């Protein structure tokens, strides 16, 4: 079982309009709702790849109940969300059908009390004996300590579990010091962490700070990976336009599934790129187009060098 942690879960709502124009009223042609938040999106992709996944984090209020109801309909995903008194947030993606561009609106998360945070930590530790790997994903809701991910990494590693961390800012900085096996920053997050805007130098710097491997997402330029085994750059065969919501989470799913399947790094990166592109092409946030994914698997370019160490 793979465990994904989403402390700031969400209900992802996707609106489709013919053309998005500022200061105008719009007729919505289609509305779709999905349980969301980064770790939930990761779990959905992992389950579609055939892995058993457990989702934990927080949920609350009427929106939280909708998230849990919809989560039960996802095959291969088990709900282990922890209740809290506040209301789960919503995110809204507005898709312009004319251009294919997406506008994203993200609500803040609910405030977590000290008692609720303690309850989560107990629930998290109870889940670890049955896990094969852990993904810690997304922002921290108000009330959760800024060093929360660092503590969760240390707990998982005490059980001998590999950990992938996907967050930003100070939670990422503190989390890296706890020595996660993989981090997945984007270019801006990597520059903020290291102070370097040169991706190759920044990935190596992030490794020196404690990360076992660093996989940086560089938008249309693909992925740059710095690992113990070597360094690789993976690029998609073409630039795709669509809804980017969940594309980074698909990268996490590709990397994590490759890790538990003991795939070599080039195969992990190929899968991650293909999944990310297939997510951009899907009509709904957090889903991926399986046909696009399977077609792209044979067209991703991975180039690099293997370490002699």
Across the chain, which has 309 residues, the per-10-residue mean pLDDT values are 96 90 89 90 93 96 94 93 94 86 87 97 97 96 96 97 97 96 95 91 93 91 91 82 74 96 94 87 68 79 65
Q: Is 49 exposed, middle or buried (0-12, 13-18, 19+ CB in 10 A)?
A: buried
pTM across the whole model: 0.89
Residue 228 CB contacts under 8 Å (≥ 6 apart), including other chains: 212, 213, 307, 309
Residue-wise over 162-185: b if at least 16 C-beta within 10 A, else e? bbbbbbbeebbbbbbebebbbbbb
pLDDT at residue number 309: 41
pLDDT at residue number 242: 61
Distance (Å, rounded) from C-alpha 73 to C-alpha 292?
Answer: 24
pLDDT at residue number 110: 93
pLDDT at residue number 286: 59
Q: 79 an active-site residue? A: no
CA distances from 68 to 26, 73, 142, 241 (A): 30, 9, 21, 31
Residue 287 CB contacts under 8 Å (≥ 6 apart), including other chains: 34, 44, 246, 279
CB atoms near residue 36 (< 10 Å): 30
Contact of 217 with 248, CB cutoff 8 Å: yes
pLDDT at residue number 308: 41
pLDDT at residue number 269: 95
pLDDT at residue number 293: 83
Active-site residue, from 12, 166, 205, 249: 249
């Amino acid at each position: 079982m793979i465990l994904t942690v989403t402390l700031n879960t969400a209900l992802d709502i996707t609106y489709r309009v013919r053309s998005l124009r500022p200061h105008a009223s719009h007729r919505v042609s289609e509305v779709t709702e999905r349980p969301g938040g980064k770790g939930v999106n990761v779990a959905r992709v992992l389950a579609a790849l055939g892995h058993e996944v457990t989702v934990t984090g927080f949920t609350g209020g009427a929106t939280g109940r909708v998230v849990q109801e919809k989560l039960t309909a996802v095959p291969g995903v088990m709900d282990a969300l922890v209740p809290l008194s506040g209301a789960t947030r919503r995110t809204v993606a507005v898709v312009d059908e004319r251009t294919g561009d997406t506008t994203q609106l993200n609500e803040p998360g609910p405030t977590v009390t000290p008692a609720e945070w303690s309850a989560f930590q107990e629930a998290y530790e109870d889940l670890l004996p049955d896990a094969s790997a852990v993904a810690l994903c997304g922002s921290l809701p108000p009330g959760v300590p800024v060093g929360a991910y660092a503590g969760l990494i240390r707990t998982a590693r005490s059980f001998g579990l590999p950990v992938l961390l996907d967050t930003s800012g100070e939670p990422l900085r503190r989390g890296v010091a706890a020595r996660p096996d993989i981090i997945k920053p984007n270019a801006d997050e990597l520059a903020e962490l290291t102070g370097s805007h040169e991706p190759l130098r920044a990935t190596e710097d992030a490794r020196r700070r404690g990360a076992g491997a660093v996989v940086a997402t560089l938008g249309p330029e693909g992925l740059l990976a710095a690992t113990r085994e070597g360094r690789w750059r993976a690029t998609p065969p073409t630039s795709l336009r669509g809804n980017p919501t969940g594309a980074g989470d698909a990268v996490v799913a590709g990397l994590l599934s490759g890790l538990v399947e003991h795939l070599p790094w080039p195969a992990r990166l190929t899968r991650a790129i293909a999944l990310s592109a297939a997510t951009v092409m899907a009509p709904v946030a957090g889903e991926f187009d399986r046909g696009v994914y399977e077609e792209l698997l044979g067209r991703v370019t991975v180039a690099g060098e293997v370490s002699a160490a």
